[in-house]
Amino acid sequence: PKKALSPRTTSIKDETTKDDEVLQENFEDETGKKAIWRGKETKAYSDWKIEKLG
């Protein structure tokens, strides 16, 4: 059975803004990889974001 999220635990999805969503879509379109995997930001996405945003 799946564990329910406790009130203190939030997923990345709950904290994303519109800008983050656009960045994630751009990353996924450019690389073909997922920006968020199992509720966590991937290293490839983090590196890509630093490269793009400086």
**pLDDT band with cut points at 50, 70 and 90 for residue 54:** confident
pLDDT tens digits, residue range 1-41? Answer: 666 665 655 555 566 788 999 999 999 999 999 999 999 99
* 19 contacts: CB under 8 Å, gap ≥ 6: none
What residues does each domain of the chain span? Answer: 16-53
